[in-house]
Structure 1
């Protein structure tokens, strides 16, 4: 542990520029269930690597999952025999987790006390005239700007530090506006809705199940939202809007707005209506929460973590993030892992774009194993040339047993429409854009339809819910590309009508 931390800090000092370094410090919460969950997930990864069909990802029948959960929770011994399954939901059910949101939050907040009350933190607040230290209980992390000397002394001065990460700058993935006249004929002739809404099975789902996302809340963490757009009016309240600064603190008094245009476009694909006579949203009755984590398209890891924490505190059902920091290396850091795990344990799905830099590239947090990562397809179900994807490698992790390392897995998990996607932009306008940013809200909206069409929220334990949702979405895709999961399509392009059909058949 000491060597790992020392190596991290030395690397930050050696590679950093300037006198001070903005870092995200993650604390040790002790031996608890989150650690165990992350460790056993490595075995699920190995199983998924051997998929030959997306249907292998489908969960067991609801009755079996419930029996597994009940039996595991009644078992006194901590030793558990893992199931012969490729379903992540069944893996988690086998663990018999008993921790509640209250106990998870209490342990995390307690772990932050030595850092927040340290001399280093107090001096930082004093020097910056009462500046707040951004901290996030869901990741047991805080953001500090430290000198090289303070950073070097950190492990000695503050007990219980687990990891230190650079608070990296993050920008929006590049997107391209498409001239409507250049769109394929099949897209132009789709007069009822944006082509992606039909392609993922949303129109059919509305008719077959009467489900349009009512009662579900999706958080879109982006540049904001134009709440006055005709297709987004009534989808968000002032209480469900927030903005965050580069240190992860809430910006007081921020008005509901879009600091760019990207956030409004993504919100439109999740929840837009048909004010133009053309349906643009996958789940037009869903409620939105909008967090500004990349004002004017630029931000930091801390801003994104702060937005995720805010969304968790708002009790949303889905977090949608069409963003990421490009990584040219296949290696994955743990910056977002704990936050995503906490969200998943509370039943919240975290949907993230893979990135727009093309094959064999990816970005964080989309490259994190626990993120539900999305690539882009066009109207002919071809992989978009710009869509990212690659084999990822975890060589070093504080959470995964050393005998399971290096851990190799593939991203994205699924793909969705991301070429020539028509949606809302500020000032009541509409534009068609290309990007995995456009694919991601299709998946977030699809999850909202799944939740509104089934009893998953009420009948499935929170610990298992996000994994069950992913199993159903992945297991029901239109299989494209190679047999199993590949770097272009993941397991395939989503089909929410099929996902709901499988869910109903399995008793969910």
Structure 2
């Protein structure tokens, strides 16, 4: 039977089973463990807007041909509104609107606006996905694994595995010899992918031994805040992020830091299986990484210098990765679910795991896509392993990936970036594969960045982890200084935001998008200027 009923065929059942079989064989070859903790990605064609997937994928590929960041600026607001109407009246004016928007089709917003399907409400998306996953989670092979695991731990079996609705996936522990049953039984009809629950490490934090004079000369603020135009935005528009909530998925946060007091609006902690740690009711940060990122997003000037891009915004912080223990994909996926349910306006993830192969897990693709569908850009660090490397989820097709620059506007040597190739995936329409795209999308200050540290301290740190929060903070500034939240439809909002930030970037490398700077270095003052000029 076809994988997708009533829609364009994505992949034959035999091909899909072969794809899942390859994944299972890879897991068994790469690990000597008798029991594997795996994340099973359910095939949920009805919950994924395949038209949106195809539209955005094609638009991102077209962007790679742009020779200037200005090519990817969004179309004017009135054109966006016309293009997004379901029933466009016939006539010269309507035809002219469509032709004009098609001329500017390198912007994501213009492409998404011309979609014809109505977006789903968040609650409906969640319930639909969980209901669609239930038959697979209740299948015999999954229930047998739950019972075996319960017997091993001498406790009653859980009726359902831990599910992550934004990614359409769930976690289960299975014996090595039992894994092939996933493709040899009826359960295979509902499986899109099988992935190890990877161990994610806290990105290394390095303090420069000696600060350049040009960094120390910044007495009013951290150098990056000035470089991206945040200080100028505060003065020109009187906006500092008020009313905007940023989701921070990291090592936690020290809410008692003088630059962060009163700015942590929500808190959660998740364990390695993605379960909420209910006993952890107080925000904390056992590592310091998350506190530093939070400071760059919303920090004040308690130490005598401004450190945050949007000091009047709020943080919804989730601990999904911790010190020496690290974290897991399940923790991060659970954090994405939670952040979206908290109603955040943007998500920052300065974390990930290095991937040497060209393909990326579709679990993050689904989760990030669902965030975009409700208007939430997902800002990610591209990774610290240098040129021609990348980390997941930073290298995901739909992630807003960030590279690092220094105080001279040079690309940091450690900053990642490469061309990605998705060769096989039941998630994408077969006709769009292989899917080739480049990362990062944009760059931001990530060298000798001054921000908060636990116990009321401050530190200068290097890393793309430090660059990403500049972009998340810039989203908060952009939203607080414009009418985007009020005048742009939720399913178009994240694309308008990304178009404005990439389209206004200060180009530093090759013409167009490259592996070092993306489309260029972040300039939030210019982004807001373009937003105002385009009617947002």
Same fold by TM-score greater than 0.5: yes
- The answer (yes or no) to whether the contact 1:28–1:111 under 8 Å persists in 2 is no
Match of 2:65 in 1: 50
- The answer (yes or no) to whether the contact 2:59–2:107 under 8 Å persists in 1 is yes
Match of 2:301 in 1: 274
* Residue 131 of structure 2 is aligned to residue 110 of structure 1: yes
Secondary structure in 1 matching 2:232:
helix
- 1:359-409 deviation per Cα after TM superposition (whole angstroms, max 9, x unaligned): 011000011010000000001100001101111111111122223221111
Match of 2:323 in 1: 296
Q: Alignment length, in residue pairs?
A: 500
- The answer (yes or no) to whether the contact 1:421–1:434 under 8 Å persists in 2 is yes
Secondary structure in 1 matching 2:85:
helix
* Residue 147 of structure 2 is aligned to residue 119 of structure 1: no
Match of 2:249 in 1: 221
* Residue 35 of structure 2 is aligned to residue 5 of structure 1: no
Moved more, 286-295 or 164-173: 164-173
Among 226, 232, 236, which residue is 2:260 paired with? 232
Shift of 1:306: 0.7
List runs of 5+ in structure 1 lacking aligned partners.
none
Shift of 1:259: 1.6
Alignment of 1:188-207 (within 5 A): 188-207=216-235
* Residue 286 of structure 2 is aligned to residue 256 of structure 1: no
**In structure 2, how many angstroms separate the alpha carbons of the residues matched to 1:197 and 1:308?**
27
**In structure 1, how many angstroms separate the alpha carbons of the residues matched to 2:37 and 2:526?**
46
**In structure 2, how many angstroms separate the alpha carbons of the residues matched to 1:120 and 1:397?**
23
Secondary structure in 1 matching 2:383:
coil
Match of 2:11 in 1: none
Secondary structure in 2 matching 1:146:
strand
**In structure 2, how many angstroms separate the alpha carbons of the residues matched to 1:53 and 1:72?**
33
**In structure 1, how many angstroms separate the alpha carbons of the residues matched to 2:87 and 2:332?**
35
Shift of 1:89: 1.0
Match of 2:80 in 1: 65
Match of 2:111 in 1: 91
Moved more, 115-124 or 401-410: 115-124
Alignment of 1:63-462 (within 5 A): 63-71=78-86, 83-84=102-103, 85-100=105-120, 101-123=122-144, 124=146, 126-127=150-151, 128=153, 129-130=155-156, 133-155=161-183, 156-158=185-187, 159-179=189-209, 182-237=210-265, 240-254=266-280, 255-296=282-323, 298-462=326-490
Shift of 1:73: 8.5
- 1:290-316 deviation per Cα after TM superposition (whole angstroms, max 9, x unaligned): 111111150111111111111011111
Alignment CA distance shift 1:330-1:27 (3 Å): closer
- The answer (yes or no) to whether the contact 1:24–1:167 under 8 Å persists in 2 is yes
Moved more, 255-264 or 123-132: 123-132
- The answer (yes or no) to whether the contact 1:173–1:323 under 8 Å persists in 2 is yes
Moved more, 384-393 or 83-92: 83-92
**In structure 1, how many angstroms separate the alpha carbons of the residues matched to 2:87 and 2:67?**
29
Alignment CA distance shift 1:392-1:225 (3 Å): same
- The answer (yes or no) to whether the contact 2:192–2:427 under 8 Å persists in 1 is no
- 1:7-48 deviation per Cα after TM superposition (whole angstroms, max 9, x unaligned): 222222222221111111111223355222112223112211
Match of 2:41 in 1: 26
**In structure 2, how many angstroms separate the alpha carbons of the residues matched to 1:92 and 1:168?**
33
Shift of 1:420: 0.4
Shift of 1:6: 2.1
**In structure 2, how many angstroms separate the alpha carbons of the residues matched to 1:189 and 1:427?**
25
**In structure 2, how many angstroms separate the alpha carbons of the residues matched to 1:399 and 1:73?**
31
Root-mean-square deviation over aligned CA pairs: 1.9
Secondary structure in 2 matching 1:352:
strand
- The answer (yes or no) to whether the contact 1:72–1:95 under 8 Å persists in 2 is no
TM-score, normalised by the number of residues in structure 2: 0.90
**In structure 2, how many angstroms separate the alpha carbons of the residues matched to 1:32 and 1:95?**
16
Secondary structure in 1 matching 2:348:
strand
Secondary structure in 1 matching 2:363:
coil
* Residue 519 of structure 2 is aligned to residue 487 of structure 1: no
Secondary structure in 2 matching 1:143:
strand
Moved more, 294-303 or 64-73: 64-73
**In structure 2, how many angstroms separate the alpha carbons of the residues matched to 1:10 and 1:190?**
54
Moved more, 64-73 or 244-253: 64-73
**In structure 1, how many angstroms separate the alpha carbons of the residues matched to 2:362 and 2:138?**
24
Moved more, 139-148 or 114-123: 114-123
Shift of 1:131: 6.6
Shift of 1:271: 0.5
Shift of 1:150: 2.6
Alignment CA distance shift 1:139-1:403 (3 Å): same
* Residue 524 of structure 2 is aligned to residue 496 of structure 1: yes
Shift of 1:72: 5.9
